[in-house]
Homo-oligomer: A and B are copies of this chain.
Amino acid sequence: MYLGSWLSRLSRSLSRPIGKTTQPVWGSLSRSLTLGAQRIPEFSSFVARTNTCGELRSSHLGQEVTLCGWIQYRRQNTFLVLRDCHGLVQIIIPQDESAASVKKILCEAPLESVVKVTGTVISRPPGQKNPKMPTGEIEIRVKTAELLNACKKLPFEIKDFMKKTEALRLQYRYLDLRSFQMQYNLRLRSQIVMRMREYLCNLHGFVDVETPTLFKRTPGGAKEFLVPSREPGKFYSLPQSPQQFKQLLMVGGLDRYFQVARCYRDEGSRPDRQPEFTQIDIEMSFVDQTGIQRLIEGLLQYSWPDDKDPVEIPFPSMTFAEALATYGTDKPDIRFGMKKYVRKQDIAFIRDFATHHFSQEVLPVFLNAKRNWSSPFAKFIMEEERLELSRLMEIQEEDMVLLTAGKHEKACSLLGKLRLQCADLLEMRGVVLRDPALFSFLWVVDFPLFVTKEESPTELESAHHPFTAPNPSDIHLLYTEPEKVRGQHYDLVLNGSEIGGGSIRIHDAQLQRYILATLLKEDVKLLSHLLQALDYGAPPHGGIALGLDRLLCLVTGAPSIRDVIAFPKSYRGHDLMSSAPDSVPPEELKPYHIQVTWPADSEEENAAATPSKNLSS
């Protein structure tokens, strides 16, 4: 079923140039960001300028304009390029004696200084128009200029920015934000979120409710940051999601809730994770799995950027079992299916990878040519089995097939990783399998409700969270074989990344108590308020959360989620600009009744450390 659609997508992707839409053109920012049918915002209301630099066109010829911006570039003291948030415009520096003061200001100000200029929009002389620049037909004949702020020597050039190390970019984030790419990413983020709000609030009657972030620890909430209170020994927790609150809002009759919610997760150092992140958090009463899925499809279609291909809905759906068996993962990248063009020397690499990363020794490799198997493994297999396998896998001439043996989940997972490895190999050879301009959404459904704990295989834990409702047809299994129960959980996958997940929740207090106390052995006291709430007329309800940072990262084609967040933390959780987290004088800890427990070997070292970086850098 999916093979056909993969192949057609593959052929589409092969016929496209790679990276088509991921590089925004500086200067076209404001055009690409104008809202579909809506009016264009007034970008110059309430301020000293009459226009933005980037918006000027031939239609403005003859107008006197006041512009404010940064000096991007200057040539031979005759013209300079002024930049603001909407693009670039060329300014002619006056050369006549009467304008000596204007010339002095514009020629002496260092690059990246901020100036205000007033002048007339004129046409560029014939032959000097620049068709690559949105304002390339015009230039500004300046009358007055004012230096608003001079720039000191920069740690790096703005225009050459992307070549700097990420640590340097994060340390001078306020300069990094001036780059074309960061401006584009943050403005697109704002716009997509605004459209999501319009869809949810204005079109579908959702209520935007802010829920607290100073909350109580949740059972098993080992990844929750703590916030000491002024009461000795009492702590707030920063929750990983508004899960309990959104369910309580449904009990409270709010009916349709959403929030662009700040969430917190303390995972220590993890690449491409952030200690605080944002999710589009949604909950509805009287809804089923299909209702949530149609809502989200509509949401993404409505908020999708105009400069990308429209989102096609409904999204395909696949069970967890099918995803694991077919793709070896619960988040398949369905942009591509088959593997081709792998060379002999790659095979050793692939086998090494499997041994190294999965400690799984055997990786028999089959090459099929003219229906014969070329493999060291071929001689161990009967002719009948070979034909049956060829039929099951629909092997074509020139195909390569990778086989392995082992426990189902582990073997599938290995092959899934190898599939991505092969895609990497092929793309290194120039075969475009994963077109960045193609966005393939997929629902993955029918997850198991519980998994066995790795460290203690006789105990169960929730596959997602303990509030997920079981599949109604599996409820009887809860009391006999709970590990076989499927949950009403759904994940949304985009190009091989999980961008959202949700579930229909348990609204029956007795069932929730049984699952928490009997099956999961959790401390129900921590959740007594939620259990009580379910007793007082809780409506059936369900919801979902979309990871906004990850979604934006995929939409913009950014290499990291740090590129779609204004002030991200480093992978160690540091703010490299302000050096947070920072030392705190002991007297500021006193009101919170805590003290630092210094590790034995670092005590002296820390006592000597300065609380923050030196000013004279």
Contacts and interface: CB of A to CB of B under 8 A. Distances in A.
A424 B539 CA distance: 45
A580 B42 contact: no
29 contacts: A47-B284, A70-B253, A112-B537, A114-B537, A149-B538, A151-B535, A175-B252, A189-B208, A190-B207, A191-B201, A210-B566, A212-B567, A212-B575, A214-B569, A216-B580, A217-B582, A225-B236, A226-B584, A226-B589, A229-B581, A230-B573, A232-B598, A233-B583, A234-B581, A235-B583, A236-B580, A236-B581, A524-B615, A593-B596
Interface string A106-133: 0000001110100000000000000000
Contacts of A251: 174-175, 177
B238 A278 contact: no
Nearest to A223: B591
A38 B202 contact: yes
Contacts of A301: none
Nearest to A49: B286
Interface string A571-600: 001010111111110001110111111110
Q: Which of A114, A176, A210, A292 has the most CB of B within 10 A?
A: A210
Given A42-B204, A238-B227, A602-B232, A178 B539 contact: no
Interface in A373-426: none
Nearest to A530: B578
Contact of A202 (B35, B208, B540): B35
A194 interface: yes
Given A214-B569, A537-B112, A597-B593, A525 B583 contact: no
Contact of A84 (B233, B253, B526, B581): B253
Interface string A169-195: 000111111100011001101110110
A570 to B, nearest CB: 12
A285 interface: yes
A22 interface: no
A186 B539 CA distance: 19
A148 interface: yes
A582 B235 contact: yes
A58 interface: no
A559 interface: no
Contacts of A284: 46-47
Contacts of A42: 203-205
A190 B230 CA distance: 32
A287 B202 contact: no
B149 A507 contact: yes
Nearest to A611: B525
Interface string A150-164: 111010000000000
Contacts of A114: 537-540
A291 interface: yes
B151 A536 contact: yes
A536 B112 contact: yes
Given A39-B202, A149-B539, A212 B276 contact: yes
A480 interface: no
Contacts of A260: 210
Nearest to A537: B151
Nearest to A35: B202
A285 B116 CA distance: 12
A231 interface: yes
B194 A201 contact: yes
Contact of A217 (B176, B288, B531, B588): B588
Contacts of A167: none
A508 interface: yes
Given A68-B285, A232-B597, A233-B583, 12 more contacts: A85-B256, A148-B507, A174-B248, A174-B252, A209-B566, A212-B569, A213-B213, A214-B264, A226-B584, A230-B573, A593-B599, A595-B597
